[in-house]
Amino acid sequence: MENPFSYTSIVEGDSFCNRQKEKDDLLSFIINSQNILLYSHRRYGKTSLIFEVFKKARRKRPKINTMHVDLYGTLSEKEFVAAILSSLSQIESKVERLVNLLKNTVRNIKLGWSIDPISGAPSGISVSFDSGYNEIMLDNIMGLLDRLSQKQKLVVAFDEFQEIANYGQRGFEKRLRKNIQLHQNICYIFCGSQRHILNDIFNNKNRAFYKLAAYYPINKIETGYYFSWAKKLFSKKNIEFEPEIIKDVIFRCENHPMYVQQFLYFLWNEPEISPETLNKIEHKILQRHYHEFLNLWESLTANQKKTLKLIVSTDGKEIFYANAIQSVDLKSGSQITRALEVLIKKDVVCKNKNYQIQDVMFKKWIQTLL
Ligand SMILES: Nc1ncnc2c1ncn2[C@@H]1O[C@H](COP(=O)(O)OP(=O)(O)OP(=O)(O)O)[C@@H](O)[C@H]1O
Ligand SMILES: [Mg+2]
């Protein structure tokens, strides 16, 4: 039987665990055309959640149209517009209609597309601008979304929205806001994982997006949900093992969605399952992420590394105590404060009650250095 767990792509259907409340909340925001800022740390399941909610939205009567715009890697307003253009086939699957829509909307663009051999529908569009980019194109394409939403309510998710912070086009945010505010029948989901950038875009009074969307953070998934979900999936595989083992997996991954999936993926592939198997898998996961963690570690200054070691060895508690500071050869609390500022900005450390290393496996990796 095929392994039902996956940790490298978005998950759906049986591979998607719970998030019932989040799905209900988001659907209600969509129905009421409320804009949302969907935030979480990396790999918590934002994109998967959006796709699950989109399925529900499309099943609603009257139907709600959905469009997912992946902004990852876009560097300019022009690429932002191109990303929307190439996502339009998600709403309009008939090639001729799509061409007509675009002909009447944005001039001077060249379109190329691939066709799905089975359905005959365009599966992807590529866009190039004939004679350069003109700012009016942003208004045109946003106006087109508005027109499309007149017939049927629309939800547009801008995934990796923090990319817009690097565009550098003058007035881009203002012009985008002006459009978005006019769209009564569209729910915009702004999604991303870089907290300080998103925070600045949406909470800085001097920026156009100030309070434009309701903040909706998503957290880890609770143990009870993971447990019944994973137990059900494992019941399809004829293998005897103590169900408590699943709880141990969740505990070791501190409920982190991607790591739980990765762990369970490897567990599924084991011919026999015992507590010893878990140590072996944990070791394997650390090995798989070795280069990623090493690169991150090497990008840090000596004081930042010491601060991380301090957080690991003290569990993030009382890191400003004199003996704690001395234990990692730092000279003062202000060195820790400065290091923490950068580590928090880089989303390596987060502060809840105590300081914590955001990535549980990175924390375990640092433990091996102590
Ligand atoms: N509801 C879920 N149930 C089980 N596993 C999940 C769930 N959501 C996400 N995952 C796991 O987390 C991984 C990352 O999911 P996804 O790409 O949706 O997260 P993301 O928050 O969009 O990530 P990124 O920050 O990279 O954009 C998936 O491959 C899957 O292993
Ligand atoms: Mg994502």
> Which of ligand 1's atoms lies nearest the C-alpha of 261?
31
pLDDT at 98: 79
Does 4 map to a domain? no
pLDDT, tens digit, 9 for 90 and up, residues 267-285: 999 988 888 999 999 999 9
- The 3-state DSSP class for residue 216 equals strand
pLDDT at 114: 72
- CATH number where 124 lies: 3.40.50.300
- CATH number where 315 lies: 1.10.10
Amino acid at 308: L
Question: 151 C-alpha vs ligand 1 centroid, how far in Å?
Answer: 33
- Side-chain half-sphere CA neighbours of 278 within 13 A: 16
pLDDT at 184: 94
Residues 122 and 243 in one domain: no
- pLDDT, averaged across the chain: 92
Last residue of a domain, one of 217, 250, 274: 217
Structure tokens at 22: 């989040």
pLDDT of residue 28 exceeding 90, the answer is yes
Residue nearest to atom 31 of ligand 1 (CA): 7
Contacts of 261 (CB under 8 A, 6+ apart): 5, 6, 7, 11, 15
What's the N-to-C CA distance of the chain in angstroms? 41
Residue nearest to atom 14 of ligand 1 (CA): 43
Residue nearest to atom 17 of ligand 1 (CA): 10
Q: Is the peptide bond before 243 cis (omega within 30 degrees of 0)?
A: no
Q: How far is CA 298 from CA 13, 294, 346, 361, in A?
A: 39, 6, 14, 17
Residues 126 and 197 in one domain: yes
pLDDT at 45: 97
Residues 66 and 178 in one domain: yes
Residues 276 and 321 in one domain: no
Q: Where are the beta strands (DSSP E) in the chain?
A: 36-39, 65-70, 109-115, 122-129, 154-159, 186-192, 214-217, 349-351, 355-357
Q: Are 338 and 346 in contact (CB under 8 A)?
A: no
| Of 122 and 185, more confident | 185
User: Looking at residues 31-56, what average pLDDT do you find?
Assistant: 96
User: Looking at residues 21-30, what average pLDDT do you find?
Assistant: 97
Does 133 map to a domain? yes
pLDDT, tens digit, 9 for 90 and up, residues 221-246: 999 999 999 999 999 888 888 889 99
Query: Whole domain around residue 349: which residue ranges?
Result: 301-367
Does 1 map to a domain? no
**Tally of domains in the chain:** 3
Residues 314 and 338 in one domain: yes
> Which of ligand 1's atoms lies nearest the C-alpha of 18?
1
pLDDT of residue 122 exceeding 70, the answer is no
pLDDT, tens digit, 9 for 90 and up, residues 209-224: 998 999 999 999 999 9
Does 12 map to a domain? no
Does 13 map to a domain? no
* DSSP sequence for 136-185: HHHHHHHHHHHHHHHHS-EEEEEETGGGGGG---TTHHHHHHHHHHH-TT
pLDDT at 121: 66
pLDDT, tens digit, 9 for 90 and up, residues 329-359: 888 889 999 999 999 999 999 988 899 999 9
Does 332 map to a domain? yes
Last residue of a domain, one of 231, 253, 288: 288
Of 8, 11, 292, the one to substitute when testing ligand 1's pocket (max ligand atoms within 8 A of C-beta) is 11
> Which of ligand 1's atoms lies nearest the C-alpha of 48?
18
Residues 271 and 348 in one domain: no
Structure tokens at 318: 């009382």
> Which of ligand 1's atoms lies nearest the C-alpha of 19?
1
Residues 249 and 321 in one domain: no
pLDDT, tens digit, 9 for 90 and up, residues 136-176: 899 999 999 999 999 899 999 999 999 999 998 889 999 99
Does 294 map to a domain? no
pLDDT at 86: 87
Residues 211 and 236 in one domain: no
Residues 227 and 213 in one domain: no
Percent of the chain with pLDDT over 70: 98
Helix 302-314 crosses helix 333-345 at what angle (to 10 degrees)? Answer: 90
Instruction: Residue 189: name the closest of 353, 68, 77 by CA.
Output: 68
Last residue of a domain, one of 240, 264, 288: 288
Does 336 map to a domain? yes
Residues 129 and 183 in one domain: yes
Q: Are 350 and 356 in contact (CB under 8 A)?
A: yes
Residues 178 and 104 in one domain: yes
Enumerate residues lining ligand 1, CB below 6 A: 6-7, 9-11, 16-17, 19, 40, 42-48, 193, 257-258, 261
Among the bound ligands, name the one nearest to the CA of residue 218: 1
Measured CA to CA, the distance from residue 51 to residue 67 in angstroms comes to: 10
Question: 244 C-alpha vs ligand 2 centroid, how far in Å?
Answer: 31
